[in-house]
Amino acid sequence: MNASFHHFSQDDIAQLDRNFRRNFINTLSGFKSLSLCGTINTEGQHNLALMSNIIHIGANPPLLGLLFRPHTVPRHSLENLLATGFFTLNHVRESYLEAAHQASAKYDSEVSEFEAVGLTPQTGTLHPAPYVAEAPVQIGLAYEERHDIAANETILIVGRIVEVQVEQTALQADGYLDLDQTGTLTVAGLDAYFKPAPLGRKPYARP
């Protein structure tokens, strides 16, 4: 092993200070997808939450996954999407990063985070969940299935994409959406935001 590396065994990790371990393990997976999740509850109250545990699941049918912390405390986004069947994901750009980060605060259920942080809810005709009007990429999803992770009681929600709105100029002829042009950000760990700079696209690799 290289001397400039710090080595952690399973036991080392188990004995880490709780906050150190949370920061450390959260950065290990690498850069994470970052989106604002919009939902509506059965009383018509909007909810907005900042999410980074998002995974591409498939293109046909079009599916994304979203992982939620254990449902041992109120989880407004999770409760709303289970109750109404719909949610939205909206990319975050630098011009409203402060507002997006503020949406990660734990507001009471009577508060609309849209109002609290100063972003604009926008609903369409296909489903009731609100989009973030300021977002260059807006994705509407229908609840598809749920998987409960036995190891830590987190919940993977699989959503089927039912509507997409993207900035016209960022969409290329082959379907590639230019995330540099949309100004989409990424996050490392719990609180470190980044603006990716393009290194180019690579041709399909063959042996």
Residues 117-146 that bind its own copies (CB under 8 A): 122, 124, 126, 133, 137-139, 144-145
Measured distance CA(160)–CA(76) in Å, rounded: 20
Question: Between residues 128 and 189, which has the closer beta carbon with respect to its own copies?
Answer: 189
Candidate list 43, 73, 110, 207; residue touching its own copies; CB under 8 A: 207
What letters, b where the CB count within 10 A reaches 16 and e where it falls short, cover 52-87? bebeebeeeeebbbbebeeeeeebbbbbbbbebebb
- Give the other-Cβ count within 10 Å of 31's Cβ: 15
The yes or no reply on residue 155 touching its own copies (CB under 8 A) is: no
The yes or no reply on residue 5 touching its own copies (CB under 8 A) is: yes
Site string for its own copies, 22-61 (x = CB under 8 A): xxxxxxxxxxxxxx----------------xxxxxxxxxx
Q: Which of 79, 77, 55, 78 is nearest to 66 (CA)?
A: 55
Q: Which of residues 75-114 bind its own copies (CB under 8 A)?
A: 89, 91, 94, 97, 101-108, 111
